[in-house]
Each structure stands twice: as structure tokens, then as C-alpha cells.
Amino acid sequence: MATETIKVNSREFVVKKYSFPTEQIPRLDYQDKKAEKLIENGQPVILTGSDLVGSAHHWDIGYLCSNLGSGQYTVYSSADGKFKYYDDKKLTQNKQFKPPTTQTDMTFQEFAAKLKRKDNKELMYLQQPLNETVGTRIVMDFTNFNWGWANETQKKNHWGPMTSNLLLVGMEGVITPAHYDEQENLFAQIQGYKRFLLFDPSQFECMYPYPIYHPHDRQSQVDFDNPDLTKFPNFANLKGYEGVVGPRDVLYLPMYWWHQVESLHGHGETISITFWYKAAPTVKVVYPLTSGQKVAIMRNIEKMIAEALNNNESMPSFMQAMVQGRYT
Ligand SMILES: CC[C@@H](CC(=O)C(=O)O)C(=O)O
Ligand SMILES: [Zn+2]
């Protein structure tokens, strides 16, 4: 895999080199009017100075070990370092599906002990919603997040309720392959550095997501390291954005925007917290539709057809019959 060295804020990072061009994600002070405008317009921006999780800036593996309590945490392991999400509620309809990662529940202390081992054959990624099992100091840190700003941003942009804060603790080199989420996201980086590759929802045609009934729904089928341009020809037209988030940075990651996330080498484990919010209600349809709205329409139609046919095997021929020679 080819690599390249990029420079971010006088720091150098060695990153994987891909076939598609990227532009830089804007990086602005959180109080800059331009930043507020970007969020209002559903455009990504890396925000500095918000201290959204300022009360957690001292979180490191040792502190979390001492203060996260003895609750069980979900830890994924992957031989190739890629952690493609899969919906285990869809496994029953897809008997032949082989999960690309293994999932183990363990205490944070067990996870920390594994991080220290030198004979790990697989990369590990802890991903766990913060819940009431955490210790009192974590609760205090959580309470002291900059909720004033978060709530003001939520309100100003008419987002729905916050649904979860996912704690992410990854080994250097872990990769979350390209996917999109159906929620607005304020992504707070606490330790380590993560490279985000972002793609506008209008790039849907280049990303070839799995069918909606597949466990990898919302994930791209394309292997960025070795794209099959026969099967996925439009991937050759992909254009993206990229940026590196470090400690104290917050990335506004708009709903329906594709993203791949790479924990960079040389700066230790990455610790992040997501702030996911339900979408703002569509009060009035305004034309032209946004590319995110078009993805939502496609998803709803695909869902309705899958439910009506009640037979996933017949979806490909049905969908092709609908468009082949008529819209192609
Ligand atoms: C869920 C893991 C991923 C983040 C992400 O996809 C999101 O916050 O939506 C990452 O940081 O590796
Ligand atoms: Zn995501």
C-alpha cells in the first residue's frame, strides 16, 4: 500500500495514499461565523477551541482504567485492522454472512492489559456507549462537557434529541471503512490523531453501498485499497475531503456524508467521543432537494420494495427490471 506524508499544524503524518483526489476539510474556530454557516448548511468543518470535551482532556488509558468502573465493554478485533460495521439484527436474513470482525465483551482493565501485550495478532477497537456503569469521576467529567455550546448548536440547527455518546478507544492503525450514518454528529477527539476521509452524499453513485437488507447496510462495498473498477466503475470519479483531528478538535460530521476514519500511527491509542443527534425535521420541502434528501428517498423506496417483495433474493432482478433499458 502506497503511503504519503501530510503536514497538519506543523505535525507530519504518514498516511495511506488512495486513488481519489481530496480537498482539505475547513478548520475554523468554533465561534467563527463561517463555521456556524457551514454547520447550518450541512457542510463538514473541524472546529477548534470549543472545549466540547475539555473536562476529558486528561483521559488516557490509565485514567480510564482507574475510573471507568468494572462494567463490560464491547471490543472488536480485526486481523486486517479494518472495522466495517455490521448490523447483527440483519444476520438472520443473511445466513451466509461472515462478520469481518470478532466482538468480545470485557472490562476496560482487561482491554488495557491486552493493549500492553506485544504479541497481539489482531488490532482491537473498543466501541461502547457511555452509560451509568462508569465511575463517579467519569460522570463528573461528562457533566462538565461544554453542553452549553452543544445544546446551542443542536437548537440553532433544529437537530432532534441527542441519541448517544459512543466512547471509542482504538489501537494505532485501526480503520473504520467508508460508510454514512443517518444522524448528525459532533465528533470530539481526546487523544491521538484520526484522519477523516469525507465524501458528499452526492457521491453515492461512486460508493456502491450494500443492499439495505444486508448487515453492511450504509457501508461502501468498495475496497479502497484495491478498488474493483469493473464492478464499481464510478469509484474512478470519486472526489473527497480530508482532515486530521487531534486532541481538543471537534469535527462536525453531517448526516449522510460518507466517511472513512483512520487512527494514525505514531501518536498512541486514539480516544474519541461521538455526539449523535437525530435529524432536524423536514418542515417544508424546498427544491432542489439536497443530496442527503435524495439518499433518504432512495433508502425509503428500497425498504418499501424489500418489504413488499418479502424475498431478498428477488430484489436484484426486480430493481434491474425497473431501470434497465428504461432509465439506463
Ligand atoms: C464509529 C467509529 C468511527 C467514527 C464514526 O464512524 C462516526 O463517528 O460516525 C471511528 O472513529 O473510527
Ligand atoms: Zn460513522
pTM recorded for the entire structure: 0.97
d(C-alpha 322, C-alpha 101), whole Å: 35
Residue with cell 488512495: 18
Could you read off the pLDDT of 147-200 as tens digits, one per residue? Answer: 999 999 999 999 999 999 999 999 999 999 999 999 999 999 999 999 999 999
8 A C-beta contact, residue 124 and residue 171: yes
Measured from the Cα of 272, ligand 1's closest atom is 11
pLDDT value of residue 46: 98
pLDDT value of residue 177: 98
- Ligand 1, atom 8: nearest CA belongs to which residue? 274
Could you read off the pLDDT of 130-155 as tens digits, one per residue? Answer: 988 888 999 999 999 999 999 999 99
Provide φ and ψ at 93, rounded to 5°.
Answer: -80, -5
Residue 15, pLDDT > 90, answer yes
- What distances in angstroms separate CA 206 from CA 25, 85, 178, 236, one per listed residue? 20, 19, 12, 8
Residue 275, pLDDT > 90, answer yes
Alpha helix positions (H), the chain: 33-40, 61-67, 108-116, 136-143, 147-156, 204-207, 291-309, 315-323
pLDDT value of residue 299: 98
8 A C-beta contact, residue 8 and residue 244: yes
How many A from CA of 180 to the centre of ligand 2? 6
Measured from the Cα of 125, ligand 1's closest atom is 12
Ligand nearest to the CA of 258: 2
- Ligand 1, atom 2: nearest CA belongs to which residue? 176
Pocket of ligand 1 from Cβ distances under 6 Å: 168, 176, 181, 185, 187, 194, 259, 261, 272, 274
pLDDT value of residue 320: 97
Q: What percent of the chain has pLDDT over 70?
A: 100
How many A from CA of 37 to the centre of ligand 1? 24
Residues belonging to the chain: 328
DSSP structure string for 120-178: --SEEEEEEE--TTS-HHHHHHHHTS-HHHHHHHHHHTT---EEE-EEEEE-TT-EEEE
| Residues having C-beta closer than 5 Å to ion ligand 2 | 181
d(C-alpha 168, C-alpha 245), whole Å: 14
Single-letter code of the amino acid located at 306? A
pLDDT value of residue 9: 84
Measured from the Cα of 181, ligand 1's closest atom is 9
- Ligand 1, atom 11: nearest CA belongs to which residue? 261
Ligand nearest to the CA of 184: 1
d(C-alpha 235, C-alpha 204), whole Å: 10
Residue 8's pLDDT band, with cuts at 50, 70 and 90, is: confident
How many A from CA of 273 to the centre of ligand 1? 9
Measured from the Cα of 174, ligand 1's closest atom is 12
Could you read off the pLDDT of 210-266 as tens digits, one per residue? Answer: 999 999 999 999 999 999 999 999 999 999 999 999 999 999 999 999 999 999 999
Measured from the Cα of 274, ligand 1's closest atom is 8
Could you read off the pLDDT of 303-318 as tens digits, one per residue? Answer: 999 999 999 999 999 9
How many A from CA of 318 to the centre of ligand 2? 30
pLDDT value of residue 1: 82
How many A from CA of 175 to the centre of ligand 1? 9
Most ligand 1 atoms within 8 A of CB, residue of 274, 275, 276, 277 to mutate: 274
pLDDT value of residue 167: 97
Most ligand 1 atoms within 8 A of CB, residue of 187, 249, 256, 271 to mutate: 187
